[in-house]
Amino acid sequence: MTSFFPQWRDNPTAALIATFALAALLIAAPFVVGQLGNAWVRALAFAALYVMLALGLNIVVGFAGLLDLGYIAFYAVGAYMYALLASPHLTDNFAALAALLPNGFHNPIWLVIPLGAALAALFGIILGAPVLKLRGDYLAIVTLGFGEIIRIFLNNLNAPLNLTNGPQGITLIDPVIIAGHSLARPLDLGFVKLPSVYLYYYLFLFLAVLTVIVCINLQNSRLGRAWMAIREDDVAAKAMGINTRNVKLLAFALGASFGGVAGAMFSAFQGFVSPESFSLMESIIVLAMVVLGGLGHIPGVIVGAILLAMFPEVLRHTAVPLQEQLFGKVLIDAEVLRMLLYGLAMVVIMLYRPKGLWPAPEHGRLAEPKAQG
C-alpha cells in the first residue's frame, strides 16, 4: 500500500488500516454487486483479467516506452494454449493422439498456466527481436501487424491440419480445478454458498494481486529503472552502460507472459475460444486502459482497467432504458455508444489530463520555496 501512497511510509498504521479496508472491499464486492445479478460479478471477474492485461502492457508501454498495438496476440496465445491442452480437440482431430490418450488432453491449470506464460514470453521475444531499433509510429505499425498475423493464423489453422478449428473456435474446455473442486460448480461452505462466477472472481483477484506485487517489485528493481531510462532517452541509457537490447527483450517477454496467463484464465472461464475475441480493437482497449489511468503508474493503470472494463456493463443496463425513457426509442445502439464514449473520453483525457487520471508522481522536482511571512 505504501507503494501506492508514498506519503504513508511514515505512517504504517494508516497503511495497514487502508490495506485491510481495501482487502475487505474486494472480498465483499461480489456479494454487494451480486445483488444486481451475476452478470455484474462476471463483469468484475473480467475487470480483474483486464487489470492483469493492462499491467502487462504497462511494462512494455509505461515502463519501457515501447508502443505495442499487438499485445492482444499474447492473450490469444495463452488462451489457445490452455484450450488445446485442456480439451478433447486435439485427440478428436488426430488419430495418433487419440490412440495415445483415449480420454483426451485434460491437463491441470497449474501445469498449463506456466506453459502459457512461457509460450507467450517466447512470442514476446520473437516480436521484440526484429523491432529493437524501432520506436514510435514504426514500432506501433509493426506490433499491430504482428497482432493481426496471430489472429489470422488462428482463424486459418484448421486446414490441412486442424489445430485451432478456425473461426468455429474450440469448445469443451475444462474449467479450473482447485483441490479437487471444479470452479464450474458452486462451493458450499456451510454458512454461504458461492456460485461459480464468485469462485472465478476470487481466483482472478488473487492472480491480479499477485501481478500487482510482481509489477511493484519490477518497478523498484534495477531492471525497472533501466526500462525507465530507456523510456526517457534510449541513447543516453545506452551510453550509461545499459544493455538496451536485452532490457527491451525482457520488457516484451515479461509483459507478454502476463498476457499469456490472463489468456489461459479467459479460456477456462469461458469454456470456449475463437479468433473473434482477439481482434485489434481489444488491443486498443487495453492500451486505452493504460493511457487513461496513467502511463507507467501502477495504481493509475488499475483504475483505468477497472473503469473501462466495467463501463460496457453499466452502459448495457442504462443506455437502452434511458434512451427509451427520454426519446421513446433507441437512437444509438449500446455498442456504438460505447465506442463513441470511449473515443470522447480519450480526446478529453488527452486535452485536459494528458498524463492520465492518476499520473505517476514526478521525481527529481525541487520543493517549492515557502513564502516568507
Q: 334-355: per-residue pLDDT in tens?
A: 778 888 888 888 888 888 888 8
pLDDT at 367 over 50: no
Average pLDDT score over residue span 33-61:
93
Q: Give a yes or no: residue 300 inside a domain.
A: no
Residue 191 has pLDDT above 50, yes or no: yes
Instruction: Collect all residues with Cβ–Cβ distance below 8 Å to 186 and sequence separation of at least 6.
Output: 193, 194, 195, 196, 199
What is the average per-residue pLDDT within 277-301?
A: 90
Range of the domain at 86: 35-280
Per-residue confidence band for 362, with pLDDT thresholds at 50, 70 and 90: low
Would you place residue 29 in the very low, low, confident or very high pLDDT band (cuts 50, 70, 90)? very high
The three-state secondary structure class of 181 is strand
Say whether 335 sits in a helix, a strand or coil: helix
314 belongs to a structural domain: no
Helix locations, 59-108, DSSP H: 72-85, 89-93, 95-100
Mean pLDDT of 148-167: 90
**Residue 162 in domain:** yes
179 is a domain residue: yes
Q: Domain tally for the chain?
A: 1
Q: Is the dihedral of CA 109, 123, 289, 320 positive or negative?
A: negative
Question: Taking residues 90-105, what's their average pLDDT?
Answer: 81
Q: Is 114 part of a structural domain of the chain?
A: yes
Which residue type does 124 have? G
* pLDDT at residue 356 greater than cutoff 80: yes
CB–CB of 292/346 below 8 Å?
yes
Considering only 259-263, 306-310, 359-363, which range has the smallest mean pLDDT? 359-363
Assigned domain for 80 exists: yes
Question: 131 lies in a domain?
Answer: yes
Residue 321's pLDDT is what?
A: 81
Over range 85-103, report the average pLDDT.
84
Residue 100 in domain: yes
* Over residues 43-68, mean pLDDT: 94
261 pLDDT higher than 50: yes
Strand ranges inside the chain, DSSP E: 177-178, 181-182, 187-188, 193-194
Of all residues in the chain, the percent with pLDDT exceeding 90 is 46
Residues in the chain: 373
